[in-house]
Structure 1
């Protein structure tokens, strides 16, 4: 992905349709995912802050 200049988030959360969704439609994640979600969101926030100047129109 770096070859096409895409900022990637390395941490992922592995969710299961069988254990993290009630009736395959209502999101009910297990508590064990909390640490992984926190790490992933920390990376997303870091990338969003790093790329913020690119989203701001020039001269604003």
Structure 2
């Protein structure tokens, strides 16, 4: 994964560094029902914060859509 991030960075593609790693044994009850650990909330919040930061920063580079111009 880290090698891919280096390649993406070299291509100047925005990436989100934080990641939420789920474990089938610890984050799913009976390997079926999703029961994430308490630590996952903080990790997910960090990842989403980074995503919002990038999307806000890149918003100025997006062309205006025809509906926004009207």
TM range (shorter): 0.7 to 0.9
Matched, 1:34 2:51: no
Runs (4+) of structure 1 exceeding 4 A deviation are none
The match for 1:57 is 65
Structure 1 residues 9-20: aligned runs within 5 Å: 9-20=16-27
Runs of at least 5 residues in structure 2 that lack an aligned partner in the other structure: 1-7
Please provide the CA RMSD for this pair: 2.2
Q: How many residues were matched structurally?
A: 60
The structure showing larger relative contact order (alpha-carbon pairs under 8 Å, at least 6 residues apart) is 1
Max Rg structure = 2
Under a length normalisation based on structure 2, what TM-score does the superposition of the two structures give? 0.66
Runs of at least 5 residues in structure 1 that lack an aligned partner in the other structure: none
Under a length normalisation based on structure 1, what TM-score does the superposition of the two structures give? 0.73
